[in-house]
Amino acid sequence: MSGVYRYDGSFSGLLTVMARLLPQRTVPDAIGIDPPQQQSLFCEAIDVATDERLVEQFWPELIARLTPGCLHRIRQVFLADYPERELLICRYLLLAWEKGRGVAGMLAHPQVAPLWKLAQQVGHEAHRYLGFVRFQEVNGGFYYSAIAPDHRILPLIASHFAARFSDQQWVIHDQNHGEGIVYDLRQRHWLLLPMERHAKPDLTPDEEHFQQLWRSYFTTLAIDERQNLRLQQGKVPLKVRPWLVEFG
Amino acid sequence: MAVATEMMDKLKILAEGAKYDVSCSSSGSFRRNKDGIGNAASCGICHTWTSDGRCVSLLKVLMTNSCIFDCAYCVNRRSNDVQRVLLTPAEVAELTIGFYRRNYIEGLFLSTGVVRSPDYTMELLIEAVRTLREQYRFNGYIHLKLVPGADPLLVQQAGLLADRVSVNLELPTREGLALLAPDKSRDAVIGPMRQVNSLITINRAERKESRKVARFAPAGQSTQLIVGATKETDRQIVTLSEQLYQRMELKRVYYSAFIPVVADTRLPALPNSPLRREHRLYQADWLLRYYGFSAQELLDEERPNLETDLDPKTGWALRHLELFPVEINGADYEVLLRIPGIGVRSAQRIVRARRQGHLSMDDLAKLGVVLKRARYFITARGRYAGECAIDSTLLRSRLLETPAKKGAAQLELPFSRPQASDEAISLISGEL
Ligand code: SF4
């Protein structure tokens, strides 16, 4: 049974779709929050409402059939900013249902390779942002960071910053996807919240001082005899530079 | 405001003095944050890259550029006429925390010139680090230089506060050291190194008994060698490194191509393509640490220097063609690692993927294995895909590396690669 499926964009929502589709062993034409319509005039998108109870039943089956590493990839791909991410997950799960945990090693299989590649891109970007986040001290006693990643990496990096900066109040704002992580110092936990795409923080005097120090330190570090701007650009792409103090 | 510019000037001078120190790794330690700020991730995190392509993960700075010693290759040497400045321990701590809170850095790398005496200098360094750990409750990464000739008690204190410690060997031989660093004796360098090694071993044993015992230099120790300032061969250098890894259990040996920063008649003029030589040494080092090669296999008396136009693994393979081609579906992991062009990550992927069925050349490509060099040394399902036979006289020329366009200065520096997950596989410096 092919078709076009619409869900609410949550991970539980997608798992609900999967729990309904997998027993039938078919790949739909499209799954999405706003899926593209098929050529046929008579083909309507089927709305799938998120069903937490069904997800709860489905979950043990999922972890029985996938290694923790594979589950992690699926989560990464779910966070990818890629139009066919749901289909990639669907095809992958279908194969896992056929072959069992062996899929973990089937890296060259056409139903696996593209998912791995995309997962790797997401993972790679998330890792890079562990370094690329730049906090600015804002009046009102917290640290603010704006980023614009390709993928929705916030849930993948939040715990790293929560463990590291647990004695300061902070926000990481993904201006590309209009969401942010807010760390609550008193409760010692973080929340992912929708946020406006733009924000203009009101910086403390100390902040300006440290930014200047950092800029001058950064320029001093380079060894002129070894200049290699192409390499630098590979590591720090132009698109991330507006958010990095040292390139300001 | 005057204070701010003064700080700026000091930082500039003291960063300038530390920037040639190549060690950049912040990995290999694990420190949890309990009620303070910061932690040390066991994989390194690069925060930015300078215009020479080197990654920045630590605030790398000297406590002072004053020095009572007079090493020939060093800008800070006594006889050099430069402005001298000093950061107080409190200033070092404040700067580190200010940068760390903003996520500019992963931690601190603190080195120094020698003021008054090695012990006095060591005490200053320790005070800075103690302030960070105790007053600011900082749990991030700290790499501390040990001053050659410092008291063993101070060395011990340093190791209890820092994640990694290092004494720079600087020159590969005793003679080189005597010539260019007459104030440093080989023993003043090796002494602390040996002491740290034994303290790490003891600490490891004690922590097996009780987790309450404080960690001593959990990220181990490293050292640095200046290459090309004296006449040593690559064979001498690689053999020395092998011994340092085996006998002193060093975590890393860094190689720094000699760049003249001061004029001195004892120093050579800039040697030809020093960066290329440095690059080859990192590759050879990588083969020692992760690929099961011995120094003897890579270099011998007849060929005491690494080839400049071939990476050392390809060079080795060309001398051992009788072992190739290797069938990718049958070879042991250790054998896969010896195939030119196949790195640790590719070898692991191959081993994993072939459990699910025999791999073809196309499958290899899909796994992300780079076949540019490897294809001349392998078969997949019995098929050979090199464009010339393995016994062909053409083979060598096919494998030669064309030098980068702008000469050696364009070479990618080994420490500038990302440290994605685990240092062992992803500080890809020499991954071949
Ligand atoms: S002891 Fe260190 S700082 Fe002093 S001159 Fe020698 S290399 Fe330079």
pLDDT for B25 equals: 67
Partner-chain contact B41 A160, CB within 8 Å: yes
Looking at the CA of residue B78, tell me the nearest atom of ligand 1.
Answer: 5
Tell me the CA–centroid distance for residue B147 and ligand 1, in Å.
Answer: 10
Q: Is the model more confident about B270 or about B365? A: B365
Q: How far apart are CA B359 and CA A107, in angstroms?
A: 11
* Ligand 1 pocket check for B256: Cβ under 6 Å: no
Contacts of A134 in chain B (CB under 8 A): 102-104
For residue B406, pLDDT over 50 is answered with: no
Asked whether B76 lines ligand 1 (CB < 6 A), one says yes
Phi, psi of A82 (to 5 degrees): -150, 125
The CA distances from residue B335 to A66, B309, B328, in Å, are 31, 24, 9
pTM reported for the whole predicted model = 0.86
User: For B100-138, what is each residue's pLDDT tens digit?
Assistant: 999 999 999 999 999 999 999 999 999 999 999 999 999
Q: Specify the higher pLDDT residue, B272 or B134.
A: B134
Q: Residue A223: its pLDDT value, please?
A: 82
Dihedral over Cα of B154, B157, B159, B161: its sign: negative
In the stretch 68-127 of chain A, residues with CB closer than 8 A to chain B read 102, 104-108, 113, 124, 127
Give the H/E segment covering residue B152: helix B152-161
How far is residue B141 from each of residues A76, B47, B109, B206, B353, measured CA to CA in Å?
A: 28, 14, 8, 22, 37
Give per-residue pLDDT as tens, A116-167: 999 999 999 999 999 999 999 999 889 999 999 999 999 999 999 999 999 9
Report the distance separating Cα B424 and Cα B416, nearest Å.
15
Q: Taking Cα atoms as reference points, which of B84, B78, B82, B102 lies closest to residue B10? A: B84
Residues B407-415, mean pLDDT to the nearest whole number: 40
Residue pLDDT, tens place only, B192-221: 999 999 999 999 999 999 988 999 999 999
| Closest partner CB to A164 (pick from B4, B7, B33) | B33
Confidence of residue B86 (pLDDT cuts 50, 70, 90): very high
pLDDT of residue A37: 64
Report, as ranges of residue numbers, the positions in chain A whose pLDDT lies below 50: none
* Mean pLDDT within B379-401: 83
Q: How many residues does chain A have?
A: 248
H, E, C per residue of chain A: CCCEEECCCCHHHHHHHHHHHHHHCCCCCEEECCCCCCCCCCCCCEECCCCHHHHHHHHHHHHHHCCHHHHHHHHHHHCCCCCCHHHHHHHHHHHHHHHHHHHHHCCCCCCCHHHHHHHHHHHHHHHHHHHHCCCEEECCCEEEEEECCCCCCHHHHHHHHHHHCCCCCEEEEECCCCEEEEEECCCCEEEEEECCCCCCCCECHHHHHHHHHHHHHHHHHCCHHHCCHHHHHHHCCHHHHHHCHHHC
Q: What is the mean pLDDT of chain B?
A: 86
Q: What is each CA distance from A125 to A19, A79, A128, B160, B422, in whole angstroms? A: 30, 11, 5, 35, 16
**What pLDDT is attached to residue B22?**
66
- With a CB-CB cutoff of 8 Å, which residues 7-46 of chain A face chain B? none
pLDDT at residue B388, rounded to an integer: 80
Q: Is B342 exposed, middle or buried (0-12, 13-18, 19+ CB in 10 A)?
A: buried
**Å from CA of A76 to ligand 1 middle:** 49
What would the pLDDT profile of A1-21 be if each residue is shown by its tens digit?
A: 578 899 999 999 999 999 999
pLDDT digits (tens, 9 = 90+) for B147-181: 999 999 999 999 999 999 999 998 988 888 888 99
pLDDT at B96 over 90: yes
A-chain CB neighbours of B59 within 8 Å are 217
ipTM of the complex as predicted? 0.91
Mean of all residue pLDDT scores within chain A: 91
| Residues in CB range of A234: below 8 A, 6 or more apart | none
What percentage of chain B has pLDDT greater than the value 90? 58
Query: Tell me, what's the pLDDT at B44?
Result: 76
Q: Return the higher-pLDDT residue of A81 and B33.
A: A81
Given CB atoms, is A218 within the 8 Å cutoff of chain B? yes
Across B90-101, average pLDDT: 97
Q: What is the pLDDT of residue A156?
A: 96
Q: How far apart are CA B362 and CA A110, in angstroms?
A: 12
Nearest ligand 1 atom to alpha carbon B65: 3
Q: Do A226 and B409 touch (CB under 8 A)?
A: yes
Q: CB of B287 within 8 A of CB of B293?
A: yes
- pLDDT for the residue B284: 95
Residue to substitute in B71, B82, B120, B261 for testing ligand 1 pocket (most ligand atoms within 8 angstroms of CB) = B71
**Which residues in chain B are closer than 8 Å to A164, comparing Cβ atoms?**
33, 37-39, 140
Q: Assess whether pLDDT exceeds 70 at residue B249.
A: yes
Which atom in ligand 1 lies closest to the alpha carbon of residue B113?
Answer: 3
pLDDT at A188: 87
Q: Treating both helix axes as pointing N-terminal to C-terminal, what angle do A85-99 and A52-65 enclose, rounded to 10 degrees?
A: 60
Q: What pLDDT score was predicted for residue B420?
A: 31
Q: Is the CB of B69 under 6 A from ligand 1?
A: yes
CA-based Rg of chain B, rounded to a whole angstrom?
23
Instruction: Determine what percent of chain B is predicted with pLDDT higher than 70.
Output: 89
Whether B67 lines ligand 1, by a CB cut-off of 6 Å, is yes
B113 touches ligand 1 (CB under 6 Å): yes
**Percent of all residues in chain A with a pLDDT value above 90, rounded to a whole number:** 71
B427, pLDDT greater than 70? no
Query: Does B74 sit in the ligand 1 pocket, CB within 6 Å?
Result: yes
**Considering chain A, what percentage of its residues have pLDDT values greater than 70?**
96
